[in-house]
Amino acid sequence: MFSLRVFLPAGLTLVMLTVLLMLGNWQVERLAWKRDLLQRIELRTQDRDGPAKRTLTRASDIAKLEKREDEYRKVNLRGRFVSQVGLWFTQIENKPDGLSRPDAVGYHVLSPFYLTDGSAIMVDQGFVPLTQVEGLRANKTEEQSLAVILRWPDARGRFDNADRPEANLFYVRDTDALGKHWGLALPAPIGEVAAAGQGWPRGGQTRMVVANNHLQYAVTWFGLAIVLVIISGLWHIRFYKSGGRFSPNQNDASQNHENGNS
C-alpha cells in the first residue's frame, strides 16, 4: 500500500510532465518556423515600392507559384481586365487609413485579370467605401502591366456569412467560389494591387501582419511543468516526513481523537 501511494502520484506526475514538455517543445519548433516565415516575408517585401522583378504572362507561370515560397512576393501581371467584378466585404483592419466613419465600411473589388494567353487570375483591386460603390468606374480593358502582391485564398470561418452571388457579394476571397460565379477556372494565387493610387478602388491594402504568439505559449507550458514538479516534490517531501502515514484526512482524524480524549 505504501508503494502504491508513492508510485501512483509519481507516475501521474511523470505522465503530465511529459505531456507539458512535449507541448512546450512543439511551441518552440513552431516559434522557429514562424520566425523563418516572417523573415522570408520581410525579404520579399523589402522592395515593396520598387519595381517587380518577375512578370507573369501565362498559366504556366502561375502554375509554378507555391504559397510557401511566393506569398507576399511582388510580381507584374501582363494582360487585361474585363467588366466582371465581385465585391468582398472586408474585415475592419483591411481598409485604408484616415477614412471618415461613413467611409470606413466597404468592400474590396475583385476582378478576373486575363493574362496574354487567355488564362485568368483573380485580382483584388483594393478598397471602396460602401458609399462609393455605385460610382465605381468601369475597368480599363486595354492590355497593361499590373504590379501586384501575391496572396492565397482565405479559409472560410465558422462565423462567415454565406456568399450572395446573385448580389455579386462575397464574404470570403475564395477563388473556387468566384471562379464558379464567373464561369472561370481560377488558380489559387490572388494578386493584390500593390499601388495605392487615387480614387476608388484604392490598392496598396496588403497587410503584412502575421500573428506570432508561440513564445508565450511555450513559456506557459514550460511554466506549468515547473509548477507541477514543485507541487509534486512538496507532496512527496511531506509524505516521507510523515513516515508514509500522511493522508488528506490526517489532520481531521487527529482533531477528532483529541476531542474524544477531552
Q: Report the chain's terminal Cα–Cα distance, integer Å.
A: 33
- Under a CB-based contact definition with an 8 Å cutoff, are residues 244 and 235 in contact? no
- Grid cell 494565387 is found at 189
- Under a CB-based contact definition with an 8 Å cutoff, are residues 239 and 246 in contact? yes
Summarised one tens digit per residue, pLDDT across range 226-256 is 999 998 888 878 877 776 655 555 444 444 4
Strands (E) across the chain are located at 55-56, 74-81, 86-89, 106-115, 120-129, 144-151, 169-170, 190-193
Measured in whole angstroms, how far is the alpha carbon of residue 157 from the centre of its chain? 11
What pLDDT score does 262 carry?
A: 46
Q: Record the pTM.
A: 0.67
CA atoms of 201 and 142, how far apart (whole Å)? 18
Task: Answer whether residue 13 shows pLDDT above 60.
Answer: yes
Helix, strand or coil, per DSSP, at residue 34: helix
